[in-house]
Chains A and B, each alone.
Chain A
């Protein structure tokens, strides 16, 4: 089928998934113990005031009515109010999202920068010491709990050695944020020519992104290794070698380019991984993102933010996978024909 038709079909198939996602996230918060109205009304509320708050929040309605309210609210951009900040959740979210995105992008970049060469080296020197060591190092990263790794990094690199700055957020205390264009401080500082902010935002990103990158390096390296092995033993590569093309060029040029497709797929999975790991790392590094926001909301039974976080992460994942699939289809015609 043509590319356009495939894209359309793929887009349509996302809709039931998104619908299912809203069902799951609604159900999750519906079953949370505790009364969100009580959180909002406060412990000194009289029973009448509490009932009033419950009525205003629609908590006295049957489940399917509440679900309807929830979904219609989503379409209007009304994600409810946070009991702990007192502000609309959407506002809190929009304010905190860039921090998480910046962390995710930085971690992914770092993971790729280390993981891809590691995978290539392992494939090229298969079954030697290099391969085994690389395998263990990569897998070790995945095997350590992220909070352990994170705090270990803080302890060693901030406290003991003093290389890293204090884990106090995205910028050093006293520095003003650059004017918001994307919300990603690194990019905004470059756009504004604000070099102190640029240096500081990169320095503050170092430890948290290293922690996350360390935990997802392995899947990337492993996928690169497996794909490279397959390609390196394929006919046209063997032919290229036989023809006398320089080894380095063959590996990093032709072989890697072909390996990119499954790598991109893995990146989609890794992205989901990172969005989940964010919650823990943000807590350890006091990073003001949505993961931190969600954990606090979870611990304070603030249902608006929990629902929105869960929903947002899922929707992001669906979109990322959609993009990966579409890229795949554009590049590899066999996919859309199957």
Chain B
């Protein structure tokens, strides 16, 4: 893998890409999932251009109207167009988990690499700390952290990141233990590379694949955690909206027949989390040579 990355136009990369496309074509489900994520991301990015209404514009005249040609997905209590709100909410719903996952990845990878490579007592201390935090189920930890830190967007990203970091530390550490005894590591050491260079340039890239799988799964989980926090009253502040908060508010309308407020936001969460999970699954199958072998 390292050789291929060094020369991007080598035939090794082409055949790998072609191979990936072949596998994707045979896995329509994973392909569909990736398509969904792409569509949602594009809609979110272009929201200001393609959304039919200002998501915060109140309009008492059309309050609580069902889906209609005027408002495709209906309106809420304040007359705000739901389709526009869902589109703008998509930004937060993709950005916050993404930011949290990315920062957790970065920190977790570095600390995990340290633990795995340095070994002995450094490893022991870090792993004990990781286990202490991992003992708390993510939602419980998130509840406590949000209550302590507050629910601004930055703090929610921080909360979600903190719940993920220990997982990545453990993952990377495990991988690092595996690769540090391999031949190319020995070779790099023999040549006289300093430890940090060995870790960052040679070893860490080989630890990435399982991390990617975990990260995609984590995106979905972060979305669900945000929704649960909103339901418990600890979520994002208005007028910023995200799907979880819209769903949590929407469940109250289930009994008053405004089904569109209840169904669509929940559906968005479900579809997105489903998509992330299926992509993660697909990636895991793709990257695990045993599975590949069995399938082909």
A and B together in one complex: yes
How many Å from the CB of B279 to the closest CB on chain A? 11
Report Cα–Cα, A220/B109, bound state, in Å.
Answer: 28
Task: Judge if A94 is at the interface, Cβ distance under 8 Å.
Answer: no
Q: Known contacts being A21-B135, A24-B133, is A279 close to B143, with CB within 8 Å?
A: yes
Which listed segment binds A: B4-12, B79-87, B220-228? Answer: B220-228
Report Cα–Cα, A135/B136, bound state, in Å.
Answer: 28
Q: Known contacts being A32-B147, A139-B277, A145-B244, is A280 close to B136, with CB within 8 Å?
A: no
Task: Judge if A195 is at the interface, Cβ distance under 8 Å.
Answer: no
Q: Known contacts being A140-B270, A151-B254, is A275 close to B133, with CB within 8 Å?
A: no
A contacts with B: majority SS: helix
Asked if B247 contacts A298 (CB within 8 A), the reply is no
Contact count band on A? 35 or more
How many Å from the CB of B144 to the closest CB on chain A? 4
Give every chain B residue within 8 A of A233 (Cβ-Cβ). 294
Q: Mark A297-338, 1 if CB is under 8 A from B, else 0.
A: 011010000100110011101100000000000000000000
Interface residues of A in 74-110 (CB under 8 A from B): none
Q: Mark B129-171, 1 if CB is under 8 A from A, else 0.
A: 1011101111111011101111000000000000000000000
Asked if B145 contacts A273 (CB within 8 A), the reply is no
Interchain CB contact (< 8 A) of B137 among A29, A136, A143, A313: A313
Task: Judge if B274 is at the interface, Cβ distance under 8 Å.
Answer: yes
How many Å from the CB of B217 to the closest CB on chain A? 10
Q: Mark A128-151, 1 if CB is under 8 A from B, else 0.
A: 000010011001101111111001
Give every chain A residue within 8 A of B295 (Cβ-Cβ). 127
- A145 to B, closest residue via Cβ: B227
Give every chain B residue within 8 A of A136 (Cβ-Cβ). 29, 274, 278
Q: Known contacts being A32-B147, A139-B278, is A148 close to B251, with CB within 8 Å?
A: yes
Q: Known contacts being A144-B269, A148-B251, A283-B232, is A17 close to B128, with CB within 8 Å?
A: yes
How many Å from the CB of B68 to the closest CB on chain A? 24
- A277 to B, closest residue via Cβ: B139
How many Å from the CB of B110 to the closest CB on chain A? 20
Task: Judge if A173 is at the interface, Cβ distance under 8 Å.
Answer: no
List chain B positions with a Cβ less than 8 A from chain A: 29, 128-129, 131-133, 135-141, 143-145, 147-150, 220, 224, 227-228, 231-234, 244, 247-248, 251, 254-255, 266, 269-271, 273-274, 277-278, 281, 290-291, 294-295
Q: What are 30 of the A-B contact pairs (CB < 8 Å)?
A: A17-B128, A21-B136, A25-B144, A28-B145, A32-B144, A139-B277, A139-B278, A139-B281, A140-B274, A143-B274, A143-B277, A145-B228, A145-B244, A145-B247, A147-B227, A229-B291, A230-B290, A279-B139, A279-B232, A280-B139, A294-B143, A295-B143, A299-B233, A306-B144, A310-B144, A313-B136, A313-B140, A314-B132, A314-B136, A317-B137
